[in-house]
Amino acid sequence: MVQHSIIANNAVLEEGVTVRKGCLISFNVTVGAKTTVPPFTRLTTLPEDEDDDVLMSEPAVVGAGGKGRVFKEAEDSDEEDEEEDPKNKAVNRLAYDLNELALEGQDDSASEFESEASDDEEEAVNPAEELDREVSATLERAFKDGHSVDIAALELNTLRMASFSNFHEMRKRIIPGVLRNIDVTAKPGSGKTTKEILARWGPLIGRMIHDEDDQVDGLYILQRACASPVVATAVFTPALRYFYDNDITEEDAILKWFYSEKSQQGSDMEKQLREKVIRILMDADSALYMYMYFQCSLTNSRSFLFVCVF
């Protein structure tokens, strides 16, 4: 569990690790299993002595088998700087937890800081655009470096928590991001075919789907992501089959998605993809087809029954 902290690239949090608020886990740090990192701790793998190439890890902080130490500011011999200004400590903590601003913002000096900071608000990065870039970069690293699904999911979930995003925001970026890695002209064995990409990265999509509402939402996103003449049938059909065969999407969710008003809206291509569902399911699993036929007959869904009979 990570609470309002920053985790750098190539840092490893083993199973059961808890990182309290305001921490900075730097590059290549490893925190051992079931270790709790105290609030506002900064961990690094740099040797404490600049002239020494050997890192002396601190098991009390990074746990047994961990790698890293607490980062400490270089000591200043000037007596005037021996005691750190508490206002500086508060400002440093704002990078991790903006609630500290409310707690410390009662005096005039904090008000001055808030006023100066407001001058830069117009230049602030759009959160949605920033999340787009971060998710895209994380996926690119995973594809290029051959990360495991576990590692990629950990990085993406850390990003989700750090950006205060929900699973829907992650799904609408991850599903298209995975599908864009498909080359519809690729030959088997290249690692780029629809079947190969889904087999390799489909489980990552599954990590972002937890209940029926998530499943329906995932189908909306899949429908929209495949609404291109180039990839429509070549990607949508096997992707839907993969979702169903691997229990990412269940029968009730497919029925709920198909019969919803939202699935019938959008571009002409999105509507055409929806109309292909029955034939896809007939080829994929006759039992599912009959299940959907039966469920629709109970609700007197004539349009659906017409498609099924046709």
3-state secondary structure of 151: helix
Residues 6+ apart with CB under 8 A from 304: 258, 259, 292, 296
Q: Which of 292, 304, 305 is nearest to 240 (CA)?
A: 292
User: pTM surpassing 0.85?
Assistant: no
Give residue for tokens 């495991």. Answer: 148
Q: Are 243 and 194 in contact (CB under 8 A)?
A: no
Task: Please tell me the least confidently modeled range out of 28-32, 106-110, 257-261.
Answer: 106-110
pLDDT at 307: 39
pLDDT at 127: 86
As annotated, the residues of the chain forming the CATH 1.25.40.180 domain(s) are 127-309
Bridge partners (DSSP) of residue 258 are none
Confidence of residue 303 (pLDDT cuts 50, 70, 90): very low
Residues 6+ apart with CB under 8 A from 65: 14, 30, 32, 33
% helix / strand / coil in the chain, to the nearest 5?
A: 55, 5, 40
Bridge partners (DSSP) of residue 31 are 13
Task: Please tell me the least confidently modeled range out of 61-65, 118-122, 226-230, 250-254.
Answer: 118-122
Helix (H) or strand (E) holding 30: strand 30-31
Question: Residue 41: pLDDT above 60?
Answer: yes
What topology does CATH give the domain 127-309?
Answer: 1.25.40
Q: How far apart are CA 58 and CA 44, in angstroms?
A: 10
Span 179-211, pLDDT tens digits = 999 998 899 999 999 999 999 999 999 999 999
Question: Residue 155: pLDDT above 50?
Answer: yes
